[in-house]
A and B are shown apart, each in its own frame.
Chain A
Amino acid sequence: MSRSIDRRMRPTAVLGEAIRDVSSGTTRMGVFALIFILLVGLIAAADVNAVAGVVRQVVGFRAAGASVLTLKAEQSVDGQRCSRLMGVGAITGAAALRPGQPVTLAAMPSSPVTGVEATPDLLALLQTIAQPITIDPGTSAGIWLSADVASLLQAQPGDTVPTSAGPVQVAAIYTWPDDGRGRDLGYAMVTPVAADGVFSQCWIETWPLSDTVTNLLNLSVINPNPDNPATINQLNTSLGLQLDGQALLDKRLTAQAGWVAGIAGLLLGFTATRSRRLEIADALHVGITRTALLWQQLLETVIWVTASLIIVAAALLWLVGALGQEPAWAIWLTGLRAVIAAAATTLLGALLGASSAREKNLAHYAKDR
């Protein structure tokens, strides 16, 4: 006798079984979600912290002026040529400088301020290497004061201060910390001047660092003086000559976080369904198809993995905010990669665990209990 029985379980019935498993606690969603959150969350948090550290180091390197090269050649730097280096190759900023008249402030006649004349492009460069910097939006012309001078004068951007050369308007106040950088601009008043003419220094900022820029920098020199050749130096040598951000990222302790989280997810997912092998073998024995069971286990796993994913993603978002390192979104996404890898392998592990249960082992599993 042949019987015709449709052994396809209805999708609604599969979903119903999954929901009943979750709501009855059969899935043990809380336990597995907690393990996922702690394990994968810690791995991802460690990675976020490491990436933020590398970014902080790179940003710090540039902010300290370590990525600025200074060429010094008395009366031999062409202002136009120097300014035009900006945008060539990896050069993000270029400006020519020369000494100006020392300035005596009415408030402090005994300690004259270094006078510096620079091409206007220096202001853009200062925004990378002299933070915090405040610029008065209303003042197009005017001098730039170092914060040390400004605080003595209690001057704000936009103020007019009396000097030995007459009153001048303050267009910007920049910070020049004593962090190992050259002191030329430390206690100084910078007056922007037209790029026409001869200067004594050319500064360029390059990112990423490149060995070929010194050749470019030499292009700013006209009328080289054989007795007094041009010298090129790093503005701040205290942080070392080189910093390879990509290499630091690749070498970070948590560079393998994605793999580690992925393997953790695989084991966790496998454990979650493998531990229910008796129940799965039983279901196979009463005539449920493997396909229906895999869908059911996948649905149950998706529920707790998704919940965990959202919680970990939110926690990482909070962490990135607390670390305060920009670019926050990029750092967050880096950490999220490990979490997503773990979520995917958890689902895979759950399917593998559910596939490993065999109806034939039923008697064996039953005795195991």
Chain B
Amino acid sequence: MIEQDNSTGVDVPGGKRAIGSGLAHRFPGTPLLFTDLSFVLCPGETVALVGPSGSGKSTLLSILAGWVKPTAGEVRWEGVARTGWVFQNPHGVPRRTAIDHVALPLLGQHLTRVQADQQAETIMARFSLTEVSDRQFRDLSGGEAQRLMLARAVAANYDLLLVDEPTAQLDMATAATVNAVLANVGNSGSIVVVATHDPHTRDSCDRVINLADHQPASEKARLEIEAQP
């Protein structure tokens, strides 16, 4: 099966990009969450999306996924066919082993079990999961489970990976083990965005988009937005 890009149709040599320009969003009957937001996201870096609680981080991820249409501005995707998510609470199949979770997306890429297991082991090593690869998901610690979600996302080989609060459910020490491997997701060839309010997670990323810098400054901004067609 040949995958068709759902992008603008322009064949971009050299890779994939997600381009946000002039983005602003509000839900019906609520004030603007953010405004005047523009960025270019490329593979090879992990971008942190920060801002106070309720500032619209998760909402922006949904806009990037194409699930939510922004009130103003637009997102352009180039070479982005598949978008993946990692949520704050890791979920898996309780009685299946850790390595089975990482091998599954590889089996879905027409690999044999032996090939998939080999590749899964390589990926898991990058997320410090070698020790637990044969352990059942239900026996993993929170940090291990969250790292497994990241490893599985790498195996799934998304074009755009959206990670929402990966350490929100973890204590400091456990969160540190996740933050330590977060950069490895960015090296995987996907565009990676991590929404977080954990400063350590932010520090593990290569670049920061801070929604606090894009809060509507005045009523003027709101009126400008409303004047647009």
Q: What is the size, in residues, of chain A's interface with B at 8 Å between Cβ atoms?
A: 34
Q: Are A286 and B3 in contact (CB under 8 A)?
A: no
Decide: A286 and B152 in contact? CB cutoff 8 A: yes
Contact status of A278 and B91, CB under 8 A, knowing A2-B5, A12-B113: yes
Alpha-carbon distance between A26 and B82 when the two chains are bound, in angstroms: 28
Binding site for B on A (CB under 8 A): 1-10, 12-13, 16-17, 20-21, 24-26, 278-279, 282-283, 285-289, 292, 360, 362-363, 366, 369
The answer to whether A286 and B108 have CB atoms under 8 Å apart is yes
Q: Please, which residues of chain A bring their CB within 8 A of the CB of B113?
A: 12-13, 16
List B residues 106-136 near A (Cβ within 8 Å). 107-113, 116, 136
A5-B1, A7-B110, A13-B113 as given contacts; A26 in contact with B16, CB under 8 Å:
no
Query: When the two chains form their complex, are residues A287 and B3 in contact, meaning their CB atoms are under 8 A apart?
Result: no
- Whether B91 and A7, one on each chain, are in contact in the complex, defined by CB atoms closer than 8 angstroms, is no
Would you call B93 and A285 a contact (CB within 8 A)? no
A283 to B106, CA, bound (A): 11
Q: B61-97: contact bitstring with A at CB < 8 Å (1 yes, 0 no)? A: 0000001000000000001011011010101111111
Which stretch from B7-15, B33-41, B205-213 is at the chain A interface?
Answer: B7-15
In whole Å, how far is B21's beta carbon from the nearest beta carbon of chain A? 21
Chain B, Cβ-Cβ closest to A13: B107
Would B108 and A7 count as touching, CB distance under 8 A?
Answer: yes
Which residue on B lies nearest to A284, using beta carbons?
B108
Q: Which residues of chain B come closer than 8 Å to A285, judged between CB atoms?
A: 84-85, 156
Question: Could you tell me which B residues sit within 8 Å of A by CB distance?
Answer: 1-5, 11-16, 67, 79, 81-82, 84-85, 87, 89, 91-97, 100, 104-105, 107-113, 116, 136, 152-153, 155-157
Given A2-B3, A3-B3, A25-B95, check contact A10 B112 (CB 8 Å): yes
Across the interface, B108 reaches (CB within 8 A) one of A12, A16, A287, namely A287
- Report chain B residues within 8 Å CB of A362: 85
Having A1-B5, A17-B107, one finds 15 other A-B pairs with CB under 8 Å, namely A1-B13, A1-B16, A6-B1, A6-B109, A8-B1, A12-B112, A13-B107, A20-B96, A24-B95, A24-B96, A282-B91, A286-B84, A287-B109, A292-B108, A362-B85
Would you mind naming 5 contact pairs between A and B with Cβ atoms under 8 Å apart?
Answer: A4-B2, A5-B1, A7-B1, A9-B108, A288-B104
CB-based contact A287/B91 at 8 Å: no
Residue of A9, A286, A287 with most partner-chain B CB within 10 A: A286
B155 engages A286 (CB within 8 Å): yes
Please tell me if the beta carbons of A369 and B95 are within 8 angstroms of each other in the complex: no
Knowing A8-B110, A13-B113, A292-B108, say if A279 contacts B93 (CB, 8 Å): yes
Contact A286 B105 (CB under 8 A): yes
Contact across chains for A363 and B85 when beta carbons are under 8 A apart: yes
Separation in Å of the A359 CB from the closest CB of chain B?
A: 10
The 6 A-B pairs at the shortest CB distance, nearest first, are namely: A6-B110, A286-B105, A286-B156, A24-B95, A13-B107, A288-B108
Instruction: Report yes or no: B85 in contact with A283, Cβ–Cβ below 8 A.
Output: no
**Which of B5, B15, B105 has a CB less than 8 Å from the CB of A287?**
B105
Shortest Cβ distance from residue B127 to the other chain A in the assembled complex, whole angstroms: 16
CA A283 – CA B85 in complex, angstroms? 12
Give the complex CA separation of A10 and B104 in angstroms.
12
What residue of chain B has the Cβ atom nearest to residue A281's Cβ?
Answer: B91
B79, closest chain A residue (CB): A1
